[in-house]
């Protein structure tokens, strides 16, 4: 916020007139997508991620399994090229090696922006449209049973890390593209997504 900056009333009124149709359009779009996306407490499947990093000629590729559990978070179990597990919870981010040892851990109380990023990741993977609308300016299109969304961060802290997100899917999210502010780009391809009503016994410990 720039203190002392005076905006003419006419400019505010004009902005309000132009913003209202955009907001209405976004709400209609999200309502259409909501009709197509399956709402479930747990979604699991496989993924392949291709990450293009500035300074590297070839993209980095990994693959494995994922579980998205409402109210708990996301577990990424990477199988290739090296086994590891990344747990994204509302208040923390943790990486474990193949032997179960903690390789990295961050808590939201120490990194306040982490809570926003984790909430955003969950909203993206779960296609939580209410949360998406909270964190992003939304545009896109719906054709038949398919949909695409283009998301631009509203939050200034989030925008320092993330430039835009593109989602596409049908009943489930099928592809996620993350364009980072520094130029790196990630593509996540979702395979065999399935809805379940509860976590499986072997997955419960991931979120403890």
Among residues 86, 68, 188, the alpha carbon closest in space to that of 131 is found at: 68
Q: Of all helices (H) and strands (E), which one includes residue 139?
A: strand 136-143
Domain extents in the chain: 29-196
Whether the Cβ atoms of residue 67 and residue 53 lie closer than 8 Å to each other? no
Task: Give the pLDDT band of residue 14 (cuts 50, 70, 90).
Answer: very low
Average pLDDT of the chain?
A: 82
Cross-strand bridge partners of residue 157: none
Q: pTM value? A: 0.79
Residue length, the chain?
Answer: 208
Please state the rounded mean pLDDT for residues 94-121: 78
Each residue of 20-45: pLDDT tens digit? 455 678 888 988 998 898 888 999 99
Q: Provide DSSP, 42-86.
A: EEEEEEEEEEE-TT-SSPEEEEEEEEEETTTEEEEEEEESS-EEE
Of 154, 124, 135, give the one whose Cα is nearest residue 37: 124
Q: What is the C-alpha separation between 61 and 63, in angstroms, rounded?
A: 7
- From edge to edge, which strands make up the β-sheet containing 42-52? 102-107, 92-97, 84-89, 73-80, 60-69, 42-52, 185-196, 173-180, 162-169, 146-153, 136-143
| pLDDT (0 to 100) of residue 15 | 34
Q: Read off the pLDDT band of 1 (50, 70, 90).
A: very low
Note the pLDDT of residue 189. Answer: 94
Q: Comparing 100 with 200, which gets the higher pLDDT? A: 200
Give me the mean pLDDT over the 96-125 stretch. Answer: 78
pLDDT, one tens digit per residue, over 147-166 is 999 999 988 888 888 899 99
Looking at domain 29-196, which CATH architecture does it have? Answer: Clam (2.50)
pLDDT at 19: 44
Q: Is residue 63 over pLDDT 80?
A: yes
Least confident of 79-93, 104-118, 171-185: 104-118
Q: Are the beta carbons of 91 and 106 closer than 8 angstroms? A: no
């Amino acid at each position: 916020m720039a203190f002392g900056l005076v905006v003419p009333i006419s400019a505010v009124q004009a902005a309000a007139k132009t913003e209202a149709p955009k907001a209405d359009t976004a709400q209609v779009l999200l309502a259409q997508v909501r009709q197509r996306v399956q709402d479930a407490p747990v979604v699991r499947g496989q993924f392949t991620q291709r990450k293009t990093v500035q300074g590297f000629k070839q993209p980095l590729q990994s693959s494995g399994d994922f579980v998205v559990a409402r109210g708990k978070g996301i577990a990424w179990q990477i199988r290739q090229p090296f086994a590891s597990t990344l747990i994204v919870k509302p208040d923390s981010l943790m990486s474990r090696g193949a032997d179960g040892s903690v390789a990295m851990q961050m808590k939201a109380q120490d990194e306040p922006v982490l809570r926003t990023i984790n909430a955003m990741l969950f909203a993206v993977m779960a296609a939580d449209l209410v949360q998406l609308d909270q964190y992003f300016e939304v545009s896109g299109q719906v054709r038949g049973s398919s949909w695409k969304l283009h998301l631009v961060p509203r939050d200034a802290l989030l925008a320092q890390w993330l430039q835009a997100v593109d989602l596409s899917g049908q009943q489930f999210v099928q592809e996620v593209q993350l364009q980072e502010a520094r130029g790196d780009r990630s593509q996540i391809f979702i395979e065999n997504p399935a809805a379940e009503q509860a976590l499986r016994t072997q997955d419960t410990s991931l979120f403890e």
